[in-house]
Amino acid sequence: MARVNQNTRGASFRARGIASLEFVIIMPVLMILLFGVMEYGWMLTKSGELVNAAREGARVGARADSNNADINSVVDARMTQAGMGAAGYSTTITQAGDVGDPVTVQVSVPYDGNVELIGFFLIPVPGNLQASVSMSKEGP
């Protein structure tokens, strides 16, 4: 009986060793997946904030008495509130000519060290994030 217990104990140690080896092999893959989920979640959050900035700018631009300075002011405030004010974003405004024509606000920001969360080289991310929103110009 003593011999059976030794074999059982040896098999138990081997099983633990194999489990440790499997953990060491799979751990880098799990870490890349974890960082990828975090990075893409962060990117989607920043993309949503970018859409909100463009939407608020288009909403201000759709008013009858608005001008480009008003739109830029609203977009700047929203981007600063989202933590992307210093990220070097650009705003493109296409003003409407007549009532009912579209006012388009496009906001673009480089997705680099100022915006990204991890910056892990194995996770592919876009170079720029951009959002474009159009609204019809309101009448007087």
Residue 44 pLDDT: 92
Instruction: Select the more confidently predicted residue: 138 or 112.
Output: 138
Domain count along the chain: 1
Query: 39-43, 51-55, 90-94: lowest mean pLDDT where?
Result: 39-43
Residue 2 pLDDT: 47
Task: Compute CA distances 50 → 41, 42, 77, 103, whole Å.
Answer: 14, 12, 12, 17
Its pTM stands at 0.77
3-state DSSP helix/strand/coil percent for the chain, to nearest 5?
55, 15, 30
Residue 1 pLDDT: 46
Residue in the structure block whose two tokens are 């008495």: 65
Residue 140 pLDDT: 76
Instruction: Select the more confidently predicted residue: 23 or 5.
Output: 23
| Per-residue tokens: 80 | 């600063």
Give the structural domain span for 36. Answer: 2-136
Each residue of 74-99: pLDDT tens digit?
999 999 999 888 778 999 999 888 88
Give CA–CA dist 116/113, Å, rounded.
Answer: 5
